Structure 1
Amino acid sequence: MQQIAWQRELLRIVTIVAISSAAGMTFDKPFWGALIGLVVSQVLMLKRLNELFLWSNKQGPAPIDSGLVGYSVDVITRRERFLNKTIKKHKKQLKRITQGIESLNDGILITNQAGFITSFNRASSHLLGLRVDTDKGQHITNLLRTPSFVKYFKKGDYREVIEFKSPYRNNLIVQIQVTQFGVDQKVIIIRDVTERQRVEQMRQHFIADVSHELRTPLTVISGYLEMLADADVNPGVMRAIRQMGEQSDRMKSLVNDLLHLSKLESNNAGIGSDWFEFQSLCAMGIDQLRGYIPKSLTGEKIPEANIECECTSNIEVLGFSEEIHSVLTNLLTNAIKYGRKEGKAAQIKIGVHSSSKGLEIAITDQGDGIAPNHLSRLTERFYRVDESRESTVGGSGLGLAIVRHALEHHDAQLKIESTVGKGSRFSFVIPAERIRIKGSE
């Protein structure tokens, strides 16, 4: 088709030039006749191109032509039909996607890179009280002024979700997660987690109530077992009394851990934060555990752990000293129990270093290590890496869950690194805004 159009166009030019040249021969000027014919053919071509331009801009009818211009009209018409069909198809798809987003129970809110709202669905209006006529174009932090969200949004680290009360409905708890969309947009997903929070609170209250109720009978049982341990009984009975005493102690330790965890989860672990000296707190935790030898439930003789500490001095931390003390003792206890190879003493190193990011605390051991598939679940309640290992030295399975919640109160996260056969490293960073040099207040 294109070749035919070229042939017709060329034939037209040749015909005009030939006629003009023949006319010029009558005046004995064939060259000038041919030149005039060539100019005329080009003027006619420009006229048709102008008609094509006007038609393509919807300013005139399509030019009628059998040459290149006519071919161009056919090509443009076909492509326009194809594009219109494609646009219509995409509009239908976009409409279905928009309808799907509008029907979601979760809120979907889109902002530009700077945080100004460009669009949101009906669920966002229901959960956050947004209005299309007034809130589009507003900055997200002007509408969601909850301090924790403002800090979360400005920080730019969206790997975790955040939960808080809806500013529009106080009885509603919303969960928000921000996702980077392309290079210049952010998608904010808003989810109603009120029912889940209610069930979680019921669970926490139940565990706390049961733990409180168990405390008294366990204390009584332990008291009687201590009395029986001093009695003059035969060795077989004495062995049974000792075993009951050990199990009673484990139950008391479990109850205490459950109560501590419930207190942390309810965010009522401390009345108020205060500045405390980190080095002395760290030294106190180490002194408490320096001579600690976990009881082996299998009769294995466990050697005393070797603990080394490199601690930055004159650093004060803003937070709850009891919680940070709990973090350190739980991590150290775990390292003493599990950070050793069979028959050898645990080699534990504590490193404390300050930087522009804050205060980094790391506890490293040279034990058997932990397989990668366990690392993401270590801070779950009652999660055990190896039942046989737990049965050797005991443990409630709550220590790292307590650590995780206590660190969340200090805007920190537990980082776990481990290599099987080489050991593990548990670390966290208390952010710089919670750190100061002693005496700089």
Structure 2
Amino acid sequence: MKVAAKRPHFDFDVESIRKDFPILSRKVNGYPLVYFDNAATSQTPQQVIDSIVDYYSRYNANIHRGVHSLSQEATDAYEQARIKIQKHFNAARSHEIIFTAGTTHAINLVANGFASLLQKGDEIIVSALEHHSNIVPWQMMCERTGALLKVIPMLENGTLDMQAFYNLLSDQTKLVFVNHVSNALGTVNPVEEIIEKTHEAGAAVLLDGAQAAPHIKADVQALDVDFYVASAHKMCGPTGVGVLYGKEEWLKKLPPYQGGGEMIETVSFEKTTYAGLPHKFEAGTPNICGGIAFGAAIDYMNSIGFEKIAAYEHELLEYATQKLLEIEDLRIYGLSEEKTAVISFNIGSIHPYDIGSIIDKLGIAVRTGHHCAQPVMDYYKIPGTVRASFSFYNTKEEIDVFVEAVKRAKNMLS
């Protein structure tokens, strides 16, 4: 099996990094925790936990509306977090960064906005590798507008059929939306090529960056992408907060997603005018603490360095791939040469749930099922997979424990 190209070697003190994560020292079912469900949610370092405690301990207040000191402190911290995220993704302007409740919320925001821009006969394109969150909102939008949803097919190795994609593009194409990285298979999609070809056709592109953002430092200006979405909880941050990046010209075209406080300029019973960006899309009291902690998580990951993270995780991917393929009848799904540290596999006819349940008893957390990517499983004609997903705080020793547990499960179930 091929995996991503060889990356530069960096000295990486994983044992020191692991000390930042309190949960990694606990036991599950009497065994040391081996957490390999990072594609679902990452663990949280003490530095981010401290930022949450600090907010609620010292300056918990509503933002943007108060003249008192606590409100001003909270507002400053929240807006500084927005700037941190802007700089991380290299957005041109801070008001192109919209705080959301997560990736799903961000996608729904854009889909709702495009419902006012599309008409019957317009076409939008999605890939066969998508998470349900990047399928269902667009299906709902098509039902409302009469737009047509077309699908880029996938190939046996877990990559997209790019020639089929070129053939799908037409004068009627208005939007293409694909994940930067597949959550089910770890495939890194050729997003630069997708964006370039889509723009040549006169359409916009949304990238679902939920699975890419923990591993790849996306530069939205270099990509020239129109929309990019991600979640904090996959980047060592808290749940319930995420980000939508949108080019200013597109965000101005989209109508508000929700009505209420903060997103208004003036309100009367005759007429309401809306606030400018980013507040136009941030109705109500936001997840203030979550936004601030998201900024702290960005700081933490950048202090380690994304190039170092990618190189180390690639080592883990290669090592785990080699060890797992030594198990008879084990099949790995997703053989792209470019992939992140995700391995989805099955063993013979054994149901993935059964393997996951047994190794959980040994303290090992993996994900089993269709991973909210049911079309991918339907393509392979399987009910689901066992998915082991690694992060920069995992170790080769943990992989050894995991592989031995999988062997034990196989022997029990065969």
Larger RCO of the pair (alpha carbons < 8 Å, separation 6+): 2
TM-score category by the smaller chain?
A: under 0.3
TM-score of the two chains, using structure 2 as the length reference: 0.24
Q: Which has the higher helix share?
A: 1
